[in-house]
């Protein structure tokens, strides 16, 4: 059954959720306070790169099922179910989550909902206890639910239309029923639904991110041990992956994680645990964070060693700018962090990424940017592979050998075929491998 759904906040999460809600049959109105973003969305353009999203959005803008506005009054008048999808960045000068945008949604919307029997659904990643507080700000006939998102950049459309689970944090059977109705086409495909209270729903997302970050940092810690012992972390990970208690996902050692979620979410989780008086329960996440940041420094050290002990007068090619492939998101990007560190130490750095160049230029305007991978590698003394795009894995090392000043590649993602590069005459180095 079609519902009138609104999505407040049209960033990465909101724009994806709005387009997918239209795809499963709802009438959708998206809201954002940025008029330029709204103008782009109204024309069917997404202001970031996510595979398949722009086509889906343009399709439903054209049919009229998906519209956009800057008016909270229009949202309140139109919607039956309101999804809050705004960001929760790290607070300036601290580790806690900045909830000003989450609070602003309720502050603007709540006075307009009296008498409308509306359901407000939070999807943002928030510290446990946030939903309890927000619920008190709504009028008596409006109800709050919490439905955390689990999107992977590069797979966001698939993860919304065919998620591996749905979590409903609710206080009433009526709220659960309304969420089940909204997600009926998704649930009918076999997606499991977990119904919880508010704090459990909030903790599902933060604990999932903490677990993933821990698993990534664990294999990176093993890479440090492997380098010291002369072992191969890729073979170690392969052996571990056959243990069904462990599995192989997120066991690829490399330069570490970045992006707009994992780094700031684990720090906010630690900060909230401290506020709750259980900070010792999450002290291990501090080391998870430290291990992750050490990986970036290790790549810089390897590059400096490859450059002869100093970056002065050396050309360094950096393949990758986005924090992960199939995205143009450069937030807390390990690749750009490494590139900037090398430039500060005197290196002549040239960066190339298939999708993230415009964003990288805005954030790091002093770096040099190439028009292609081949352009970046031209006369390079050291090549760094730092974002595992398929385009980079498909490069022919024999052809590239003729372009560089020195055939030396550091595979910061353990994703290239080391044997193939060595056979083409390259010195191949990777993290945690001989």
Full-model pTM: 0.94
**pLDDT recorded at residue 1:** 74
pLDDT at 51: 95
- Quickly list DSSP for 260-317: SSHHHHHHHHHHHHHHTT-GGGGTHHHHHHHHHHHHHHHHHHHHHHHTTS--TT-EEE
Q: Is the dihedral of CA 422, 426, 427, 431 positive or negative?
A: negative
- Whole-angstrom Cα distance, residue 91 to residue 101? 12
DSSP at 90: B
213: Cα separation from own chain's centroid:
12
pLDDT at position 221 is 98
Q: How far is CA 51 from CA 139, 172, 203, 260, in A?
A: 39, 37, 29, 18
How many Å apart are CA 266 and CA 212, to the nearest integer? 10
Of 20, 85, 261, 378, which is the active-site residue? 261
For residue 3, the SS3 value is coil
Residue with tokens 């343009």: 58
Q: Which helix (DSSP H) or strand (DSSP E) does residue 171 occupy?
A: none
Is 378 one of the annotated active-site residues of the chain?
no
Q: In whole angstroms, what is the distance from residue 177 CA to residue 184 CA?
A: 10
HEC readout, 24-84? CCCEEEEECCCHHHHHHHHCCCCCCCCCCHHHHHHHHHHHCCEEEECCHHHHHHHCCEEEE
- The per-residue pLDDT for 170 is 98
Within 8 A by CB and 6+ apart from 210, the residues are 265, 266, 269, 282, 285, 288
The whole-number mean pLDDT for each consecutive block of 10 residues of the chain, a chain of 434 residues, reads: 94 97 98 96 95 97 97 98 97 94 98 97 97 97 97 95 98 98 97 98 97 98 97 97 95 96 96 96 97 97 98 98 97 98 98 98 97 98 98 98 98 97 98 94
Q: Where are the beta strands (DSSP E) in 72-229?
A: 81-84, 119-122, 143-146, 166-169, 193-196
Task: Give Cα 194 distance to the centre of its chain.
Answer: 23
Residues 6+ apart with CB under 8 A from 387: 319, 320, 321, 322, 323, 324, 325, 333, 335, 353, 413
């Amino acid at each position: 059954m079609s519902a009138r759904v609104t999505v407040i906040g049209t960033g990465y999460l909101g724009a994806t959720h709005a387009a997918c809600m239209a795809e499963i049959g709802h009438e959708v109105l998206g809201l954002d306070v940025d008029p330029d973003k709204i103008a782009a969305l109204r024309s069917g353009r997404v202001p970031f790169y996510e595979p398949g999203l722009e086509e889906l959005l343009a399709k439903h803008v054209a049919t009229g099922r998906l519209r956009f506005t800057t008016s909270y009054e229009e949202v309140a008048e139109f919607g039956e179910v309101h999804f809050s999808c705004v960001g929760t960045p790290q607070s300036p000068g601290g580790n806690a989550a900045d909830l000003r945008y989450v609070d602003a949604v309720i502050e603007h919307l709540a006075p307009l909902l009296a008498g409308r029997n509306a359901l407000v659904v939070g999807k943002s990643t928030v510290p446990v206890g946030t939903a309890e507080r927000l619920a008190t700000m709504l009028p008596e006939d409006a109800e709050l639910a919490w439905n955390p998102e689990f999107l992977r950049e590069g797979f966001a459309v698939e993860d919304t239309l065919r998620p591996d689970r749905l979590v409903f944090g609710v206080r009433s059977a009526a709220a659960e029923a309304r969420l089940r109705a909204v997600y009926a086409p998704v649930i009918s495909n076999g997606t499991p639904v977990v119904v919880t209270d508010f704090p459990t729903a909030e903790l599902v997302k933060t604990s999932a991110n903490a677990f993933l970050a821990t698993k990534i940092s664990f294999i990176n810690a093993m890479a440090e041990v492997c380098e010291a012992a002369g072992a191969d972390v890729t073979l170690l990970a392969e052996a571990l992956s056959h243990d069904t208690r462990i599995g192989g996902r997120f066991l690829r050692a490399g330069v570490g994680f970045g992006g707009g979620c994992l780094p700031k979410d684990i720090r906010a989780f630690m900060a909230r645990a401290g506020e709750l008086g259980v900070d010792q329960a999450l002290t291990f996440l501090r080391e998870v964070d430290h291990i992750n940041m050490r990986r970036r420094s290790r790549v810089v050290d390897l590059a400096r060693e490859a450059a002869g002990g100093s970056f002065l007068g050396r050309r360094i090619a950096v393949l990758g700018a986005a924090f992960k492939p199939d995205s143009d998101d450069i937030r807390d990007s390990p690749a750009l962090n490494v590139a900037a560190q090398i430039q500060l130490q005197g290196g002549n750095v040239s960066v190339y990424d298939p999708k993230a160049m415009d964003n990288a230029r805005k954030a790091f305007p002093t770096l040099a940017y190439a028009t292609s991978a081949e352009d970046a590698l031209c006369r390079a003394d050291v090549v760094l592979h730092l974002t595992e795009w398929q385009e980079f894995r498909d490069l022919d090392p024999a052809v590239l050998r003729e372009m560089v000043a020195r055939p030396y590649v550091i595979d910061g993602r353990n994703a290239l075929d080391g044997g193939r590069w060595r056979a083409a005459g390259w010195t191949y180095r990777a993290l945690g491998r001989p």
